[in-house]
Amino acid sequence: MKKFVMAAIGGTLAGVIASTQIAGPLLAEENARNSRVYEQLDLFGDIFERIRAQYVEEVDEAKLIEAAIDGMLTSLDPHSSYLSPQDADNMRMQTRGEFGGLGIEVTQEEGFVKVVSPIDGTPADEAGIEAGDFITHVDGESVLGLTLDEAVDLMRGPVGSEILITVVREGAPFDVSIIRDTIKLTAVRTRTEGSSVVLRITTFNDQTLPNLEAGFKEQVEEAGGIDNINGIVLDLRNNPGGLLTQAIKVSDAFLEEGEIVSTRGRDPADGERFNATPGDLAEGKPIVVLINGGSASASEIVAGALQDHQRGIVVGTKSFGKGSVQTVMPLRSDGAMRLTTARYYTPSGRSIQALGVSPDIVVQQPRTRPNAEEEDEGSAARTRSEADLRGRLNNDSLSEDEIRQIEEDRAKAEAAAALREEDYQLAYAIDILTGLSKLGPAGD
């Protein structure tokens, strides 16, 4: 018994000694690190005082400190930044769905401003700005060397004023003149193409889920009930994202159960998982999700969730690849700090950061060919059928109702063909839904 007690005591003492031996160097390293931090802060103070006292012109101390804070944040990644009180107000207006500007979501790449996507129906969209464009100059002033916020400030101005931006696309620069306007975002636009409901989500703000639910209900009622639609096209192309909460709600609207997205921060204990609740807005109808290089952030959460749960077929081109979460933290100055605090992961555990969501079916959007309509009309004119032949036999075996049905089906097919010229990717998505509806429900 004594041996056991002594061994236990001896082991405990050895453990205490070992812990002390390890803790000593760790504590010394922590103290050294803190000392270096304080030295750097002293260095910052010295530089700040030198600028105040000796810079060639008198400086605004508040702006100088704000610039230092912004520089510290923007050095972390392209999405962290300082928001002045005015910028913080602008951001809050954007999440409510109305703000002034050009209507583009931008990021920074290699010192230049890169367009993530134009927003539907905005001055930038109408001027032909496209996802992936680089903005190199604003009113003749180069944006190279500016922070993203500084470049964005150059593009801001009074509603109704003109701005000239230089755009580089596929290596070729050109100038685009845009008139600034008040941007009123309609989060979701709905319509019916044939028997398919198209839900075009342009942004994820406070109005996204209410707009989606109301718009879908309206289209279903006009179709005469859910049984009269063959599926849904969820169009997320050129959607730069927005609120994480709305992305979760939109995904949940079409999922009965399972994980939607998870976030993982620096500390594993800070991770969160968001799960679907019972109820499917589409009542099991097939879904095709459209994405492209302008689909980012919240759009990628929705596309990834529906893809991983095999609830939707993802069609289009690879998405933007913004897989990080920014938390907006209010500051005492009435400004705010936007800080990247986590990465998000799709239900299968995929991180799309810098990789994007890869579509199940890759479909490029072809550029409109000059005189395409005239070419098509010419080829149609050269096509002949049995009905064109002189002395042909008439089809007397069909009733008037059958002939009318054939004509209606032909009209739908011709409408789908016309849509291909206008929006090939959307037409492709609708063709998938039409094909699935011809197969009938599984198990029949």
Domains and CATH numbers, the chain: 65-183 (2.30.42.10), 186-327+338-362 (3.90.226.10)
pLDDT band of 96, cuts 50, 70, 90: low
Q: Kindly tell me the burial class for residue 267, based on how many C-beta atoms sit within 10 Å of its own C-beta (0-12, 13-18, 19 or more).
A: exposed
Q: Residue 89's pLDDT is what? A: 83
Q: Is the pLDDT of residue 374 over 60?
A: no
SS3 content of the chain, % helix, strand, coil (to 5): 40, 25, 35
pLDDT band of 375, cuts 50, 70, 90: very low
The catalytic residue positions are 297, 308, 322
Q: Residue 330's pLDDT is what? A: 93
Query: Strands, E, within 133-201: which ranges?
Result: 134-138, 141-142, 162-169, 172-179, 181-184, 188-193, 196-201
d(CA 423, CA 193): 12
Tokens of 49: 């005082």
Q: State the alpha helices, DSSP H only, in 97-192.
A: 123-126, 148-155
Q: How far apart are the first and last CA of the chain?
A: 76
Q: Residue 7's pLDDT is what? A: 34
- For the segment 143-199, what is each residue's pLDDT rounded down to a tens digit? 998 888 788 888 888 889 999 999 999 889 999 999 999 877 789 999 999 999 999
Q: Residue 422's pLDDT is what? A: 86
Residues in the chain: 444
Q: Is 83:335 a contact under the CB 8 Å cutoff?
A: yes
Q: Residue 439's pLDDT is what? A: 79
Q: Kindly tell me the burial class for residue 201, based on how many C-beta atoms sit within 10 Å of its own C-beta (0-12, 13-18, 19 or more).
A: buried
pTM, entire model: 0.77
Q: Residue 218's pLDDT is what? A: 97
Amino acid letter, residue 8: A
**What are the C-alpha distances in Å from 422 to residues 140, 195, 236, 367?**
35, 18, 17, 10
The dihedrals phi and psi of 341, each to the nearest 5 degrees, come to -115, -10
Q: Is 292:266 a contact under the CB 8 Å cutoff?
A: no
For the ranges 247-261, 287-301, 361-375, 418-432, which has the lowest average pLDDT? 361-375
Q: Residue 381's pLDDT is what? A: 42
d(CA 301, CA 305): 6
pLDDT band of 8, cuts 50, 70, 90: very low
d(CA 291, CA 320): 9
The dihedrals phi and psi of 289, each to the nearest 5 degrees, come to -105, 125
Q: Residue 109's pLDDT is what? A: 85
Query: Strands, E, within 331-403: which ranges?
Result: 336-345, 361-362
Q: Residue 382's pLDDT is what? A: 46
Q: Which residues are CB-contacts of 303 (< 8 A; sequence separation ≥ 6)?
A: 236, 289, 291, 295, 312, 314, 319, 357
